[in-house]
Amino acid sequence: MVSKTRLAALGIAALLAVAPLAGCGSSKDEATKQPEPAKSEEPAKTTDEGTKTATDDGAKKLTGDFEIQYFVGGYGDKWWKKVIADFQAANPDLKIKESGGPKINDQMKPRWVGGNPPDFVYIDGPNLNDRQMVEDGQLEDLTDWLKDAKNIDGEKITDILAQPAQEFDGKVFDIPLVLNSWGVFWDKALFQEKGWEEPTDWQSFLAVSDKIKAAGTTPFIHTGKYPYYINGAILYPAIVSANNNDISILQDMAASKVEAFQQPAVLTALKKIVELRDKGFIDKASIQINHTDSQMLFLQHKDAFIPNGLWLPNEMAKDIPGGFSFGFIPSVTQDAGGKVVANTSTANVAIAKNAKNKDAAKAFLQFVFSKAQASQWAELSGAPSNIKGDISASNAPSHVKDAAKYLTDANTVVVPAITFNADVDKAMQDATDALTISKITPEQWVERVVEVAKKAAK
């Protein structure tokens, strides 16, 4: 299961990211130390941050120690191993130290608190929150640097980001490397075998669900124990679609503005869930099961569709039957001819304010935000990155290519990562569960949530 922080967008354009899972994947907590770099034959002078500046052409040569911290979750660590090896090859005079693993955030916490952090950090997984790190003064202010920073291909980094860097009081401290999207999954192979059409909108989704039900398969299963799955993939995109593709309604809901929950778009979206319920499309087992149980029933073809995040294939890798081919679309709740809505969240990278080798850290940022590394990320992690680009010819999994295709489309409405008030979020989840089993009406859903939002807004 994905961490609550990631699911709060619960919240990609070219490359999308599977949300990492605490405890998924593994690696050594710390890689072995790199061999001593060869001495440069060029006369050079040393700067304070371990960087040598060659006098012949003014180019900087990176030297000294450089430490990278990265969490290993649903993405695994293959990409990190490869990109670090590539960066090392390009900078042989740099001594790189890897600090990675599924528990690395907890292991490194004393160093961050003590003012002796690594130089570069991948902000993802449990117990690592960029807003908190900014408030604690732990991250380098990248605002001015990012304005003109270019990747190793000579492209402005800000021009190639699918989702821009979040600002904290007008300043940038971290940059989105990975972009996840909620959406709906199905098995392409099964649909082809049965002659079922893949959905492109609400009308086609309902039409094929009728055929699926008639064939003896339940069309839809969700994770009732964690209702943020159905909210993130069904309800929130439906609200945006019903609000003329204006995402500000979700942002107002996140700010606990009572009037946002009372907008007609919310009722319109809730009634689509009711339509699924009343047509008998929702598996009755949904209400009491967790994420892995619902995903197993989906993989066993007990159910045809499941709302989930892009981490699903990685999370269930050991249980995927042979021949299974993941289909994916960010949203099915838009009316025919309407825009796809991608409800997203990000995983970011940053430089420590107390980094000892900031030049190397900035050079590494320029290195990872390249088209080649974006494609490599898609292939090695099973998910897309936050860099615009065409990965159709890459070896990335089919669902990643599908996600990237939708998310690079100018007609896609991309919802940036949104975090709701915790009490309001819980109220929405509980109310949605109740709605799916006919315990309440859409109007009562709104009433429940509004009462909680009023308290949160005080």
CATH number of the domain within which 453 lies: 3.40.190.10
The tens digit of pLDDT for each residue in 388-433 reads 776 777 777 788 888 878 877 889 999 987 878 889 999 999 999 9
Single pTM value for the model: 0.71
Q: Which residue has the higher pLDDT, 259 or 5?
A: 259
56/152 same-domain check: yes
Shared domain for 309 and 233, answered yes or no, is yes
| Domain containing residue 77 | 4-180+345-414
> Per-residue b/e over 256-269, b at no fewer than 16 CB within 10 Å?
bbbebbebebbbbb
> Band of the pLDDT at 59, cuts 50, 70, 90?
low
291 and 215 within one domain: yes
Alpha-carbon distance of 87 to 17, in angstroms, equals 22
Which single residue is written with the structure tokens 């971290």?
Answer: 174
Q: Are residues 234 and 304 in the same domain?
A: yes
Number of folded domains that form the chain: 2
Residues 168 and 239 in one domain: no
In sequence order, what are the beta bridge partners of 95?
A: 65
Mean pLDDT of 78-85: 96
Same domain, 39 and 154: yes
Residue 265 pLDDT class (50, 70, 90 cuts): very high
